[in-house]
């Protein structure tokens, strides 16, 4: 009898708990306010790019608009930098962060991730005449190698951890490719997806061994921690986007071959 009464007490408590959990979710907040706060750097083609007219474009920009449409809300873009992104998320400024974000354990300590979008990996992007001399970590990890990276992201972290002997310069992620062309630097370590995209825009630049990255990586959307309802919704939306082919259509508009 005591077990029955205890079970009934638990059941009677469930609706209140579920209600409190639901109303505290970003899912409920987004629906109530009618807008989705999307944090993005706007400097990482083909995923996110802020044009001179103030509009964003890219794979994940289109996906953000798709997510907002599924909720029948509008998108509110929140500009961030790679360095400020974790703090912006912790401060509650982002319902979701999108734009070619790499999954790392360090980032996982401060935020959650939706299900993995794609696999990726770090490779060198160099002038085409120098491809043979920048094949391995040993060839790259030398004081004579002028590395150039955007500040605060996983590219810079890779250089610090794997190429500490290289000469590193930090730059914005928009002019960095022309600096490589102009011989102001020798190597940029970046994700294979970005390198393959940028070599099309800059014929003098070549991606080095894009199918054999120096480091394995994954990309996913970043979410606020400890919000199960919101993560479940985003994961289901993403699953359906892939199952129906909508995601692949968006990717194909930017990349000739989906990586």
The CATH number linked to 174 is 3.40.190.10
Same domain, 169 and 236: no
CA-CA distance, 86 to 189, in Å (whole number)? 22
pLDDT of residue 57: 95
Residue 18 located in a structural domain:
no
Q: Is residue 179 part of a domain?
A: yes
Q: Is residue 106 located within the same domain as residue 231? A: yes
Residues 158 and 125 in one domain: yes
Q: How many domains does the chain have?
A: 2
Q: Which residue, among 62, 90, 73, has the nearest Cα to 30 in the 3D structure? A: 73
Kindly state whether residues 91 and 72 are assigned to the same domain: yes
Cβ atoms of residues 192 and 259 within 8 Å? yes
Residue 244 has pLDDT above 60, yes or no: yes
The parent domain of residue 51 ranges over 33-117+220-253
More confident residue, 84 or 17: 84
Q: Has residue 65 been placed in a domain? A: yes
Which pTM was predicted? 0.75
Question: What is the sign of the dihedral through the CA atoms of 38, 101, 173 and 59?
Answer: negative
Q: Are residues 177 and 207 in the same domain?
A: yes
Tens-digit pLDDT profile for residues 182-224 = 999 999 999 998 898 899 889 999 999 999 999 898 999 999 9
Domain assignment of residue 50, yes or no: yes
User: Which has the closest alpha carbon to 122: 191, 198, 220?
Assistant: 191
What three-state secondary structure class fits 218? strand
Q: Is residue 196 part of a domain?
A: yes
CA distances from 91 to 60, 143, 157, 223 (A): 22, 39, 23, 12
């Amino acid at each position: 009898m005591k077990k029955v009464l205890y079970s009934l007490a638990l059941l009677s408590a469930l609706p209140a708990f579920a209600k409190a959990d639901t109303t505290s979710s970003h899912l409920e907040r987004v629906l109530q306010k009618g807008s989705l706060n999307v944090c993005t750097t706007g400097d990482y083609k083909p995923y996110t790019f802020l044009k001179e007219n103030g509009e964003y474009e890219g794979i994940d920009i289109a996906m953000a608009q798709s997510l907002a449409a599924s909720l029948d809300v509008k998108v509110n873009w929140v500009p961030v930098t790679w360095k400020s992104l974790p703090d912006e998320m912790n401060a509650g400024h982002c319902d979701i962060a999108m734009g070619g974000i790499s999954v790392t354990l360090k980032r996982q300590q401060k935020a959650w991730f939706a299900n993995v979008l794609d696999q990726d990996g770090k490779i060198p992007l160099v002038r085409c005449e120098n491809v043979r001399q920048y094949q391995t970590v040993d060839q790259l990890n030398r004081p004579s190698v002028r590395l150039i990276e955007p500040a605060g992201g996983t590219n810079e972290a890779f250089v610090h951890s794997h190429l500490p002997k290289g000469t590193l310069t930090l730059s914005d992620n928009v002019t960095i490719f022309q600096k490589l062309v102009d011989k102001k630097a020798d190597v940029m370590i970046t994700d294979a997806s970005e390198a393959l995209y940028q070599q099309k825009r800059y014929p003098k630049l070549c991606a080095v061994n894009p199918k054999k990255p120096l480091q394995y990586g994954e990309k996913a959307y970043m979410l606020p921690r400890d919000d199960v309802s919101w993560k479940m919704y985003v994961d289901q939306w993403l699953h359906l986007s892939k199952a129906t082919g909508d995601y692949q259509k968006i990717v194909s508009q930017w990349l000739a071959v989906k990586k």
